Amino acid sequence: MNSPSRIHIDLHDMLAMRHELQHIELFSTPLQSSTLLGLHRSRLRGRGMDFDQVRAYQAGDDARSIDWRVTARTGEVHTKVFHEARERPTFIVVEQSLHMFFASTGSFKSVIAAQAASLFAWASLKHNDRVGGLVFDGDKVQHTPVQRTQHSVLHFLQAITEANQRLQQPADQPLSNPLPQVLQHANQLAHTGSLVILICNERHLNDESSHLLRRLAAHTELIVLPIADPLEHHLPGLDHARFSMGSQSLQVDASNTQLRLKWQQQGAAYQEAWRQLAQEINAPLLPLSTAQSVVEQLQSISLRQRNSAQGPL
């Protein structure tokens, strides 16, 4: 399941992500619970009742649901079990800015973000939800309306792919934080009860974007996937490290103990800020790294949650 390091992604790769759903269950089904996101389906719009299964009658079951045919055949009272069929818009907000055109190891942040967005788009369509969202870079925001069709998903994935392939070595001008602008759009476009999946640069969280995420969480369900590179949390074990952007470069003494500690503390501060915000707005936090494939990371998070739910043996 290991994926090669990537700088860009193409539409074929995005289409292939749907096959990765066999390796991880993102959303719960009537017969299978998702450890990763199974509990986050509370504010959903109902559309009737669907038959689920037949099981042995239990005290408190509605007598009107007894399956008399199975009861007669088995000699034991059985009842039909129904579940509420639900649908919701899944609104995926994915970053493809020059901030994401970077990796010290593995695939670029922009590629990880694109793969994660594709995975959630296919999972939502498989779950019979409507899918759409926003693709944003430093200059513009592209909106794909939510629809329950494969054509709509393909249109959304094409928008991500085109934004990804436009990325190239940044110029010398400073880059601004695009997250607050796109969150303004998301607050206007995401309908009440929508599932909003935010996939963005870890270091874009600030006071303004935190405020806008709280507003968004007030009328939607949120899942947040901040993306980081290992270098942003730990300096490499070198005497000197050189960082470049366009024609500009910076050299630091990576052997300096105080600098290494400050560097690590700054990275940890962003992680903690995301953790606190996610806890406050009751949003699943799925942090991703450039160092490993998206599916492997989500599997690891799911395994940790399962072990945590089971508790010590």
97 and 234 share a domain? yes
142 and 55 share a domain? no
Q: Which residues have CB under 8 Å from 231's CB, separation 6+?
A: 104, 105
Residue 84 tokens, joined: 């509420």
64 and 167 share a domain? no
42 located within any domain? no
Strands (E), the chain: 45-56, 78-87, 89-95, 130-136, 141-147, 195-201, 221-228, 241-245, 248-252, 288-289
64 and 138 share a domain? no
Question: What pLDDT does 312 receive?
Answer: 59
281 located within any domain? yes
97 and 62 share a domain? no
Question: What pLDDT does 36 receive?
Answer: 64
Question: What pLDDT does 222 receive?
Answer: 95
Give the C-alpha separation, 207 to 223, whole Å. 19
Query: First vs last Cα of the chain: how many Å apart?
Result: 30
Give the C-alpha separation, 123 to 29, whole Å. 11
Question: What pLDDT does 40 receive?
Answer: 44
The one-digit pLDDT tens for each residue of the chain (313 residues) are 445 678 999 999 999 999 999 888 787 654 445 556 653 443 333 344 555 578 888 877 778 888 898 889 889 998 887 654 456 799 999 999 999 999 989 999 999 999 999 999 999 998 888 999 999 998 899 999 999 899 999 999 999 999 999 998 766 667 889 999 999 999 999 999 899 999 999 999 999 999 999 999 999 999 999 999 999 998 877 666 666 555 556 677 767 788 888 989 999 999 999 999 999 999 999 999 999 999 999 998 888 877 766 665 4
163 located within any domain? yes
39 located within any domain? no
DSSP string across 16-82: HGGGGGGG---S-BTTB--TTTTT---S-EEEEEEEEEEEE--TT--GGGB-HHHHHHHSS-EEEEE
**Amino acid at site 245:** M
Helix axes 207-217, 257-280, angle to 10 degrees: 20
Query: How many helices (DSSP H) and strands (DSSP E) are in the chain?
Result: 8, 10
Biggest alpha carbon–alpha carbon distance for the chain: 81
Nearest Cα neighbor of 126 from 29, 53, 222, 32 is 29
75 and 92 share a domain? no
Nearest Cα neighbor of 14 from 156, 128, 214 is 156
291 located within any domain? yes
277 located within any domain? yes
Q: How many CB atoms lie within 10 A of CB 14?
A: 24
CB 216 within 8 A of CB 189: no
Q: Can you say whether the dihedral through the CA atoms of 36, 277, 131, 41 is positive or negative?
A: positive
Measured in residues, the chain has a length of 313
Q: Can you say whether the dihedral through the CA atoms of 225, 229, 235, 241 is positive or negative?
A: negative
Give the C-alpha separation, 213 to 227, whole Å. 17
182 located within any domain? yes
Look at the chain and report how many structural domains it folds into: 2
Helix axes 179-189, 207-217, angle to 10 degrees: 10
240 located within any domain? yes
Q: Which residues have CB under 8 Å from 260's CB, separation 6+?
A: 234, 235, 254
Domain that holds residue 58: 48-86
